[in-house]
Amino acid sequence: MEPGQDIGPHAPRHAPRRRRRLTTASAVVALVPLTAAVAAGHLATAGAPPPQVPVAPAPAQGAPPARTPIHHVVVIIGENHSFDNVFATYQPKPGNSVDSLLSQGIVTTTGTLGPDASKAAQYTATDTPTDPGHYSINPPLNKPYATLPQPNTTYVRSSCDGEQPANSPDRRFPANLPNGPYQITRFVPFFQTHSSTACQAGAYVGDPLHRFYQMWQQVDEGRNRLWTWVHQTAGDGNGTVTPTDQGAVQMGYYNMAAGDAPGFRFMADHYAMSDNYHQAIMGGTGANHIALGDATVAVYRNRRGRLATPPANQIENPNPLPGTDNFYAQDGYSGGSYTECADPAAPGVASIDRYLASQPYTPYRGGDCEPGAYYLLNNYNPGYNPNGTPVNLAEHPYTVPPQTFPTIADVLQAHHLSWGYFGQGWNNGHPTSGYCGICDPFQYATSVMTNPAKRSHLQGLSAFEADVAAGHLPAVSYVKPAGPNDGHAGYSTLAAFENFATRVADSVIDRPNLFRHTALFVTFEEGGAYDDSGYIQPLDYFGDGTRVPMLVLSPYTAAGHISHTYDDHVSVVKFIEANWGLRTLSATSLDNLPNPVMSSRHPYVPLNRPAVGDLMSLFDFHHPQAHPPCIPLCGPQGPDAYPDAGHLPALPAACRRR
């Protein structure tokens, strides 16, 4: 990343913004014939006739026309499930293939280990004897686990997991699980109901430890042998050795073949998905949301906006503490989260550098680390309050200072294209306890938060509902559930996010005139440190990370299509740019990576690495679906009772009847 990139006196002067809430006539962008370059590259075979689609209203004054029939992009973001965790046993429609635990023979449709389960066997390891006391992403293996350690409850509320104490072995699971991925719902029902109103429906399970240096180690340079060992050894106690309280929570998966996640299965069967889409940054929530809207990584700055050194207790040190095998010296949510990755002597850097240097190609910008820059790797709160004032760092030290990077919101606004970030629990700028403060990629940015006109685009879920009810949407919408609905292990459930995504999607699908020009992207910000067997492309020092689900709901998808093109969160930004012919965010942002050249011989590995796609491979713009279906609402989930104005939309009557 280029930490000096700026929105300020030397940035182009932008035209005054237009109001986001437009009349129906101006809320969508006109459909124009596909450009030859786009049609040849992504959208059609040579010689195919142009798509026959309804004529759309005229674009907003000064806005560029869309280059595809998609005039509204809606990105719905859940949390903390890898692709295999959700789609491990998904069975594709004829003519399609999927890379999963089932297709690799690691598990069976009945939830048992398959004939090739040894591919996913977990091993113990040791601090590397070649460089004692130093972090390694591929420490020498010892021996396989005889059985997996019993999964832990971590911090699950006791009323949601059978009145068990926190941070204790989860008695719902056996203490002798076979060494390999296991089906969670053999022990906890997917749609489990709870007597406490504090619990959503679904299976509450312990939360795997999902942080930057841990995830590099868990992946083990693509061998995936150390998911369990890292969870058992690499604590986040910021120098204090404490129990990790993890067990084998990271090896669980949901079994679609046995009926789990029926809503997500329906989306995949009737629309399109990718089995090669990734979190952009190793580790957790905040950094990956920044990638989704800003295509970059945050850095530490002083009050003048210049690069600076963070307080010593905020700098990561994953080297093992003396007397431990792998317990990190300084890492944790109230502590180590920055790294100076341009310094090969900085803790943790050398091992990742060696791996990047071993690739048969040059990583993006040589690893993408600027000298003197300390990059944010894990979760810190954004540097602005909802009202646009800077956070007092003395009172709230675990806050990333205001950021000067440009965002996709800046580019959209400069081109008179409407946008909005809709966070459940925003509560008119007075967020409720469930609101995800680290999830808004625009709340980090000075260019948005110090501009009242731009800041007004940060709204609650109820504003999105009102737009849908009025029959129009911004060109780009990011939709984020509150914590109880986001699917995050520990305090939410996969069933809860499935319910959220279904209700939001159906509110749009039920309005054909709106949906015919809309693409709904349903994804997860990161894999939550759940085991995943897919290929990961080393792009730079920060990632990529594991695969996460990406589903696209649009009339312009072939039912059941599975794209193998290599994509990650930056692909969302690239899609927006490609769809409206917009420039990249800066000269060094990750959206400058080229689109991948894929081959049938190696369908998951780009030939021109490093490269990430723009999601166009998920669409079929020449054969729109005549009757795209609503998503059935499955299980016992009722209308959302989350206590704020951004409640979930009611399921449309027409969708209830289908």
pLDDT (tens digit, 9 = 90+) per residue, 241-270?
A: 988 999 999 999 999 999 999 999 999 999
State how far the alpha carbon of 434 is from the alpha carbons of 463, 486, 642, in Å.
Answer: 17, 10, 9
- What is the sign of the dihedral through the CA atoms of 408, 410, 414 and 420? positive
CA dist 357 and 639 (Å) reads 52
Phi, psi of 159 (to 5 degrees): -70, -10
Bridge-partner residues for 420, per DSSP?
Answer: 477
Nearest alpha carbon to residue 423 among 451, 443, 445, 450: 443
Nearest alpha carbon to residue 486 among 504, 503, 477, 499: 499
Q: Do 142 and 226 contact (CB within 8 A), yes or no?
A: no
CA dist 254 and 186 (Å) reads 9
42, pLDDT greater than 90: no
Tell me, letter by letter, the H, E, C secondary structure of 326-388. CCEEECCCCCCCEECCCCCCCCCHHHHHHHHHCCCCCCHHHHCCCCCCCEECCCCECCECCCC
Q: Do 143 and 122 contact (CB within 8 A), yes or no?
A: no
- State in words which class domain 70-86+256-657 has: alpha beta
Nearest alpha carbon to residue 518 among 366, 628, 439: 628
For residue 544, cis peptide bond before it (omega within 30 degrees of 0): yes
All structural domains of the chain with their residue ranges: 70-86+256-657
Q: One-letter amino acid identity for 175?
A: A
* 154-173 confidence digits (pLDDT tens): 999 999 999 999 999 999 99
Q: What percent of the chain has pLDDT over 70?
A: 87
State how far the alpha carbon of 541 is from the alpha carbons of 212, 368, 375, in Å.
Answer: 11, 7, 10
* 525-561 confidence digits (pLDDT tens): 999 999 999 999 999 999 999 999 999 999 999 999 9
CA dist 164 and 370 (Å) reads 47
Nearest alpha carbon to residue 528 among 297, 265, 184, 271: 184
* 317-366 confidence digits (pLDDT tens): 999 999 888 999 999 888 889 999 999 999 999 999 999 999 999 999 99
Residue 633, pLDDT score: 84
5, pLDDT greater than 60: no
Residue 85, pLDDT score: 98
Q: Do 220 and 141 contact (CB within 8 A), yes or no?
A: no
Residue 58, pLDDT score: 54
Six-digit token pair at 188? 């906890």
Whether the pTM exceeds 0.85: the reply is yes
CA dist 535 and 585 (Å) reads 27
DSSP for residue 129: T
Please give the full DSSP string across 503-558, using - where no structure is assigned.
HHHHHHHT-HHHHTTEEEEEEES--TT----S-----BTTB---B--EEEE-TTS-
* 444-493 confidence digits (pLDDT tens): 999 999 999 999 999 999 999 999 999 999 999 999 999 999 999 999 99
State how far the alpha carbon of 157 is from the alpha carbons of 60, 248, 521, 643, in Å.
Answer: 49, 19, 31, 18
For residue 65, cis peptide bond before it (omega within 30 degrees of 0): no
The more confident residue out of 3 and 203 is 203
Q: One-letter amino acid identity for 35?
A: T
